[in-house]
Amino acid sequence: MNRPTGHTAPPRLDLLDPLEVSRLGGIEVMTEGVVEGFLTGLHRSPRRGFSVEFAEHRMYQPGDDLRYVDWKILGRNDRLYVKQFEEETNLRAMVVCDSSRSMAWTGAPDTTLPKLAYAQRLIAALALVLLRQRDATGLITFDDEVRNVLPPKARLSHWRRLVHILAGMEAGIGTAAEPALRRVVDQLRRRGLVVFVSDLLLDRELALKALRFLRHRGHQVLVLHIMDPAELTLTGPAEARFEDPETRAAVILRPRDWAGAYRETVRTVVSEWRLACRRHGIRYHRVTTDTPYGEALREALAPSPRLA
């Protein structure tokens, strides 16, 4: 909804500030269930062995299997490189991003990023973490229909393609979360990780139905609930007009009279989402757009008590 701009807000967050990028090195994505990857490491895998589809070279690291050393490069350049294969990955992950009109809102345009702009940067940071640990990462974006589908790949160079799509995203009109989430099935044929990034201003039952379906297919699912700080409380002048950005439904009211009821409604909605996700084995994390990216990811990806 359109609300009056607040007068105080934290400094605007920049796109992947260098300090925040440096902090991403200490973040790891760990899955709770069995995923169908090909490396022993952060994620347990039900399979053994590697794909035969060559992807790229990378520098040799202590502990790498000598069978995959490229001896021709060693002979030419006197440097150790190993061959990396397309399926040589801990897991396959798909990020599903909501780009509906409500995601374009910010309560303080001069100091706080719109929810969509924040989500773009957060996803870019998350993809960088995943690709650094050789996890194949893909992206689906949607508003009232699916707009982009980028299949998951494990190459670090794949990050540039993903960021290019993120940079070109524009807020649409409606929200069609269920079709977008079901498209994940076509991209993750084996069990993997699904990250759903949205302000959750959508049909909750339909979205939860699709999320439960993904859990039923064996995927680990993480919901990142993006909220603007101004959405947590109702403030403004003595009388203000509030409008739904997607339906254009509007109401005129006195914020002071409704602040208590609004705050309780927000608390209830967040609690219902958290409980519904937990009931079906889905991880839920609320992120406000004044939170540094490194901090948001570190909290969202922290191992649950079962993993600690």
CA distance 137 to 53: 17
Domains within the chain, CATH numbers bracketed:
18-22+91-300 (3.40.50.410), 54-85 (no CATH)
Q: Quick one: pLDDT band at residue 118, thresholds 50, 70, 90? A: very high
Q: What are the pLDDT digits (tens) for 268-287?
A: 999 999 999 999 999 999 99
Contact indicator for 143, 104 with CB cutoff of 8 Å? no
* pLDDT at residue 76 is higher than 60: yes
Q: What are the pLDDT digits (tens) for 142-170?
A: 999 999 999 999 888 899 999 999 999 99
**Which residues, listed in sequence order, are joined to residue 69 by a DSSP beta bridge?**
82
Q: What is the amino acid identity at position 115?
A: K
In this predicted structure, what is the pLDDT of residue 237? 82
| Whole-number percent of the chain with pLDDT over 70 | 78
Q: What is the rounded average pLDDT of the residues 253-265? A: 87
| pLDDT: which is higher, 57 or 17 | 57
Q: What is the amino acid identity at position 63?
A: G
In this predicted structure, what is the pLDDT of residue 158? 93
Going by C-beta distance under 8 Å and a sequence separation of 6 or more, which residues neighbour residue 149? 138, 139, 140, 183, 187
Contact indicator for 93, 190 with CB cutoff of 8 Å? no
Q: CA 210, 207, 204: angle at the middle one, nearest 5? A: 150
Ranges 87-101, 158-172, 204-218, 294-308: which has the least confidence: 294-308
Q: What is this structure's pTM?
A: 0.75
**Tokens in use for 146?**
């699916």
